[in-house]
Amino acid sequence: MNKADTTQLDAVSRSLEEDAKLNTGKITFQSIILLLGVALVVSALGANVGKTLNAAVPFFDKATWTILFITVLGLIGAVSPLGRVAGSAEISNVLLYSVIALLASRASLLELGDAPYWILTGFIILGVHFVLMFFLARLFPPRYVHGVRGFTRQYRRDGIRACTCRHLLRLTGSRRHPHGADGVT
């Protein structure tokens, strides 16, 4: 393989793992209410700021300005102490799925055939992502991105470990076993 120095990447990975271990607090009612309250306040502010920004700079429409403003505030909140409140990942996932469900509820399947270029564009975007992921998987073999390692150790007694490792080796075309050089165990 290559002789790249991965010490910095390993150090960042270790620090992220330590940070994740520290942020395993218990989700409480207060943390859920805090996160939902902040989300609703940011949403209400975003609607007004989007309207104001659209009037001042009509480069984007009101909805785009609102989404950009809320996204920036979300990114700031994620790196602030608010992002470390227990339950923030779960609440953000629920809110994201709610937005996706609201967008999907406005879609009409009867009008799907009226926009063939949009459908074609969607498949092209999926294809580009597939090709990128394929080449990234070839560039970074399982020993670098083997997040399944803990999973395979957990289910070793069920025989899934060997199956998973063989599958990863087959997918990436790697000749080196992710758990060591002595072959699939």
pLDDT digits (tens, 9 = 90+) for 166-176: 555 555 555 55
Q: How far apart are CA 176 and CA 182, in angstroms?
A: 9
Q: Which of 94-98, 115-119, 148-152, 177-181 has the lowest mean pLDDT?
A: 148-152
- The string of DSSP codes covering 19-73 is HHHHT-PPP-HHHHHHHHHHHHHHHHHHHHHHHHHHHH-TTS-HHHHHHHHHHHH
Could you read off the pLDDT of 25-80 as tens digits, one per residue? 788 999 999 999 999 999 999 989 999 999 998 888 998 999 999 999 999 988 88
Q: How far apart are CA 89 and CA 106, in angstroms?
A: 26
At residue 146, the pLDDT reads: 45
Could you read off the pLDDT of 124-177 as tens digits, one per residue? 999 999 999 999 888 876 654 444 444 444 444 444 444 455 555 555 555 555
pLDDT band for position 179 (cuts 50, 70, 90): low
| Mean pLDDT rounded to a whole number for the chain | 78
pTM over 0.85: no
Classify burial at 150, counting beta carbons within 10 Å of its beta carbon; exposed 0-12, middle 13-18, buried 19 or more: exposed
At residue 88, the pLDDT reads: 86
Residue 16: C-alpha distances to residues 9, 80, 106, 164, 166 (Å): 11, 15, 39, 25, 28
Q: How far apart are CA 53 and CA 59, in angstroms?
A: 9
